Amino acid sequence: MFNSHSTSKNHLAPILVDNISLELNNRLLINGISCQINAKGISVIMGPNGAGKSLFMRCLHGLATPNSGQIFYAEKPLSPDIQKQQSMVFQSPTILRRTVLANMLFVARQRGQLNPKTSIEYLAQVQLEHLAQHPARLLSGGEKQRLALARALITRPTILFLDEATSNLDPTSTETIEKNLQLVDQQGTKIILVTHDIGQAKRLADDVLFLNRGILTEHGPARSFFKSPASAAAKSYLAGQLVL
Amino acid sequence: MTIYSESFFAAFNLLATADKDLVEILYLSINVSLLSLALSCFLGLPIGAILAIRQFPMRNLLVGIFNAMMGLPPVVVGLLVYLHLSRSGPFGWLGLLYTPEAMIIAQMILITPIIIALSCQVLEDLNEDYKDFFSSLVVPKRTALVAYIVDARYSLLTVVLAGFGRAISEVGAVIIVGGNIDHLTRVMTTAIALETSKGELELALALGFILLGISLAVNFFAQWLKATAKRRAYV
Amino acid sequence: MAILKLTIITIFGLTAFANAGIAETAILVQSTTSTKNSGLYNHILPIFKHDTGITVNVVAVGTGAAIKNAMNCDGDVLLVHSRKRENNFVAKGYAKRRYDLMYNDYVIVGPVKDPANIVGMNDAVAALKKIANTNSKFASRGDSSGTDSKEKSLWESTGVNQIAHSGHWYRETGSGMGTTLNTAVGMGAYTLSDRASWRTHANKADFKIMVEGDKRLFNPYGVMLIDKTRCPNVNSIAGKAFIDWLISEKGQTTIAAHRFAGKQLFFPNTK
């Protein structure tokens, strides 16, 4: 079923971040980030706690607005129309107080996807179809996150954001989610994910953006990043040291 | 206290014999309360939801006003409605004074602020949970509004119950605008007031017991519904 | 205001439980608690309805409130007991004329302990003086009803400025007759009541009639058709039919036939 995804050129690319800064309560949380993110592949945002990873991703998706600077998708500034072609999976997913299937249908309806069969198919993709009629809030943490992923995928996003979506999950759920990510990646969906899991980053990343104290200190291909990180902060982060 | 047993017996007797007047009064009480409740919810829930999920200038002022209006004195509301619906008032041409419709209007004015203020509180909590997801999904405002009310339905049940409790037990407003007319606008509370004023204290208390019984039944039913919902984590 | 209008229109359509009383001919009588609570209307209205097919709805409040409501055009017929204010109502053009309908009398009731020692007196003014002199508690309606204005005029005759003692031995309840009787019984206070309300009041405890038979305690009731030129909404045909029936021989004998515990409560006196 994923064949229906567009494999043509990503029409939201290139993603251009032009010198964005964001200040909250007199603290500069994003400090002049500029970068260009590839049209395809999996971009992983890494960095120590409080580096501004999640906030940066929220800016990319339009959930937070920078005080200065701009973000362009294919040379157009971020708009609700562009946002609709993106999906985001949060660290702790919001689960509607309904059944699993009703959760799917709610999201599907927002994108004109009215056939319940499609929702069931996407649930099967994350091994949840047997729980379709189950109250969604009674799912385990891993099941909830898989549901959140299925909900994100049914919108057929051009860009998929994941904010530490697999932290604290059981290995099976993490594996299911990673497999799905690799699948949609192959089908041309751009994936941007924040993770603390270095192993996961190594498994998935095509390129890495490393943030420290609101500054983008490094952006390059995954292989070279993991092999020889340029900044001292990234080096010690990868070495498992406390980054101050 | 023999008055309790006597009144209890009288209440039982009235119910057991399905006293014709009692049935009529009960029917009107429930009808008026439910209709005003339904209309108040129809008006109040969306307003409560808008106040809960949207930020706009004067929003906090409005919330404050509705919170204060929860304590509106029924007699004042009754008097205001009377003055508006009186033949010499601006809406006199409608001919609604001393009708069940007038009682519904008065009760709506009493209940709607309760529905608005309490639903706003309930939905604010839900909004904390849902807002990022909805904003990420770019959910249209109207769809979000409906989703909030639907998903908070079991929490809103408590809000609706508070409104029902106010409606069914209120006497100050309905006695002024309804007139406590036999077979036309007499409800449980005005009947209790009447029997008390006639010195028929046992009968008045018996009617009070029946009113209390209705409240208990409604609340137990709601509690059961909510417990079911809780088991399914819908609350 | 737009919302209110919309709501009213919505409700207007929602007459699922619409009362038959609105569809058929119905009139509204602004009247007093004394006539209603004593069961007079329950006795005469079914007979009137049988004779004419007209439904009569009664709003029972104090005479003062009833007259106010009538002046706001919220009624078709006014049936009250305060001669002075009834005449004023007619003089101001709210009714063409007033009809004598019936009468009963007022009584002063009080606890058997009788702290003012007035039991058996037939001079109401002297009895009130004794109540004032002994600082015995007295419950007043204080609601500008017919009974209230009668009581005030009796106090005037005593020369006692009872209002000066309000809150002490003189207690104004601001309520209807029944509630005032309950209050009087509750605190052991004397009070003035019309005989019908007293007889039919269920919560008498140890209270008895203390003073009766003074001709100043006369309590006449009058009935008026609210004038259509003042209040165009008045159903003057049905209203007139009700008054005509009340003052007819049939109406008068029906009033006289109303009994409570075997005793007549109202005495017809149409001339």
Q: Of the candidates B138, B152, B233, which has its C-beta nearest A138's C-beta?
A: B233
Q: Round to whole Å and give the CA distance between B144 and B136.
A: 12
> DSSP character for A137?
G
What's chain C's Rg over C-alpha atoms?
20
From chain C, pick out residues whose CB is under 8 angstroms from the CB of B104: 11, 14
Q: Which of B133, B135, B136 to mutate to test the interface with A (most CBs of A within 10 A)?
A: B136
Any domain includes A2: no
| Contact by Cβ (8 Å): C40, C265 | yes
The ipTM is: 0.90
Q: Where are the alpha helices (DSSP H) in B54-187?
A: 59-69, 74-85, 100-137, 141-151, 153-169, 172-178
Give mean pLDDT, residues C229-234.
94
Residue A38 falls within a domain, yes or no? yes
In terms of Cβ atoms closer than 10 Å to its own Cβ (0-12, 13-18, 19+), residue B140 is exposed
Contacting B residues, span 19-78, partner chain C, CB-CB under 8 Å: 27-28, 31, 35, 39, 43
- What is the band of A168 on the pLDDT scale with cuts at 50, 70, 90? confident
Q: Residue C1: inside a domain, yes or no? A: no
- Mind telling me how many Å the CA of A131 is from chain B's nearest CA? 13
**pLDDT (0 to 100) of residue B11:** 87
Burial of B231 (0-12, 13-18, 19+ CB in 10 A): exposed
pLDDT digits (tens, 9 = 90+) for B80-137: 999 999 988 999 999 999 999 999 999 999 999 999 999 999 999 999 999 999 999 9
Stretch C2-13: mean pLDDT, rounded?
A: 48
- Residues near C1 by Cβ (< 8 Å), separated by ≥ 6? none
Rounded mean pLDDT, A121-142:
95
Q: Assign residue C146 the CATH number of its domain.
A: 3.40.190.10
pLDDT at A2: 44
Q: Per the omega criterion (within 30 degrees of 0), is the bond before C46 cis?
A: no
Beta-carbon separation of B136 and A61 below 8 A: yes
Q: pLDDT of C60-80, one tens digit each? A: 999 999 999 999 999 999 999
| pTM score | 0.82
Alpha helices by DSSP H, chain C: 2-13, 20-23, 33-37, 40-52, 63-71, 83-91, 124-133, 146-158, 177-187, 195-200, 236-247, 249-257
Cβ-contact C63, C32 below 8 angstroms:
yes
A-chain CB neighbours of B235 within 8 Å are 97
Q: Residue B129 is part of which domain span?
A: 8-231
d(CA A52, CA B37): 49
A154 within some domain: yes
Assess whether C138 and C206 both reside in one domain: yes
Helix (H) / strand (E) containing A236: helix A232-238
Q: How many CA atoms lie within 13 A of B173 on its CB side?
A: 27
In a domain, C11, yes or no: no
Q: Is residue B140 part of a domain?
A: yes
User: What's the CA gap between A42 and A208, in Å, rounded?
Assistant: 9
Predicted pLDDT of residue B5: 86
Query: Is residue C93 located within the same domain as residue C226?
Result: yes
pLDDT above 90 covers a percentage of chain C that reads 85
Distances (CA, A) of C169 to B19, C136, C209: 43, 6, 20
Chains linked to A by 3 or more Cβ pairs within 8 Å: B
Query: Above 90 in pLDDT, residue B13?
Result: no
Q: Which of B139, B151, B234 sits opposite A110 (nearest CB)?
A: B139
* Beta bridge pairs of residue A209: A45, A219
Supply angle C-alpha B24, B30, B36, rounded to 5. 130
Q: Identify whether C14 is part of a domain.
A: no
Asked if the structure places residue B3 within a domain, the reply is: no
Rg value, chain A, Cα: 18
Whether residue B158 lies inside any domain: the answer is yes
Query: Considering C217, C243, C259, which residue would you say is the last residue of a domain?
Result: C217
Residue A100 forms part of a structural domain: yes
Alpha carbons B100 and B94: distance in angstroms, whole number:
13
Q: Which pLDDT belongs to residue B159?
A: 95
By three-state DSSP, how is residue C26 classified? strand
Q: Is the pLDDT of residue C22 over 50?
A: no
Q: In which domain, by residue range, is A61 found?
A: 10-238
| Positive or negative torsion for Cα C215, C85, C174, C167 | negative
The structural domain count of chain C equals 2
- Chain B touches chain C, with at least 3 Cβ pairs below 8 Å, answer yes
Q: Which subunits have 3 or more CB–CB pairs within 8 Å of chain C?
A: B
Average pLDDT over residues C138-164: 94
A146-155: average pLDDT: 96
Instruction: Render pLDDT for B150-179 as a digit per residue (tens, 0 to 9).
Output: 999 999 999 999 999 999 999 999 999 999
Q: Which two tokens stand for residue B14?
A: 């009235």
pLDDT score, position C216: 96
- C259 has pLDDT over 70: yes
**Which residue among B31, B105, B184 sits closest to C8, beta carbon to beta carbon?**
B105
* pLDDT at residue number A241: 66
Looking at the fold, whether C54 and C147 belong to one and the same domain comes out as no
Residues of A in contact with B123 (CB under 8 A): none
In a domain, residue A4? The reply is no
Q: Tell me, yes or no, whether C74 lies in a domain.
A: yes
Output Rg (C-alpha) for chain B, integer angstroms: 20
- Asked whether residue C19 is domain-assigned, the answer is no
Of B9 and C21, the one with more pLDDT: B9
Q: What DSSP character marks residue C215?
A: G
Number of domains in chain B: 1
Is residue C15 over pLDDT 90? no
Query: Same domain for C82 and C143?
Result: no
CA gap C188, C207 in Å, rounded:
8
Nearest chain B CA: its distance from C76 CA (Å): 11
The answer, for B115 touching chain C at a CB cutoff of 8 Å, is no
**In chain B, whose CA is at the least distance from the CA of A134?**
B232
Nearest CA in chain C to B186: C59
Please compute the mean of the pLDDT values over residues A108-118 and round it to a whole number. Answer: 92
Domain tally for chain A?
Answer: 1
Q: Residue B195's domain is classified under what CATH number?
A: 1.10.3720.10
Nearest CA in chain B to A110: B139
Q: Mean pLDDT across chain C, nearest whole number?
A: 90
B28 domain-assigned: yes
pLDDT of residue C6: 47
Residues of C in contact with B181 (CB under 8 A): 57-59
Inside any domain, residue B1: no
Distance CA A201, CA B18 (A): 75
Give a yes or no: residue C13 inside a domain: no
Q: Identify from C11, C14, C145, C234 which residue to disrupt to test chain B contact, counting B C-beta atoms within 10 A and taking the largest count.
A: C11
Average pLDDT over residues B14-43: 93
- Chain B contact for C2, CB < 8 A? no
Q: Tokens for A134?
A: 């189950």
pLDDT at B233: 81
pLDDT of B235 reads 72
CA C192, CA C217: separation in Å to the nearest integer? 10
Residues C224 and C90 in one domain: yes
Confidence of residue A9 (pLDDT cuts 50, 70, 90): low
- In-domain check, residue B2: no
Q: What is the pLDDT of residues A194-236, one digit of tens each?
A: 999 999 999 999 999 999 999 999 999 999 999 989 888 899 8
Is there a contact between C59 and B180 if contact means CB atoms under 8 Å apart? Answer: yes
**Which residues span the domain enclosing C68?**
24-103+220-268
Chain A partners of B137 at a C-beta cutoff of 8 Å? 87, 107, 110, 155
Q: Does B230 touch chain A (CB under 8 A)?
A: no
Q: Could you read off the pLDDT of A17-62 as tens digits, one per residue?
A: 999 999 999 999 999 999 999 888 999 999 998 899 999 999 999 9
Q: Is residue A117 part of a domain?
A: yes
Q: Is B138 in contact with A83 (Cβ distance < 8 A)?
A: yes
Q: Is the pLDDT of residue C213 over 70?
A: yes
Q: How many CB atoms within 10 Å of residue B8? A: 14
**Which of chain B's residues have a Cβ under 8 Å away from the Cβ of A96?**
130, 147, 151
Contacts of B88 in chain C (CB under 8 A): 71-74
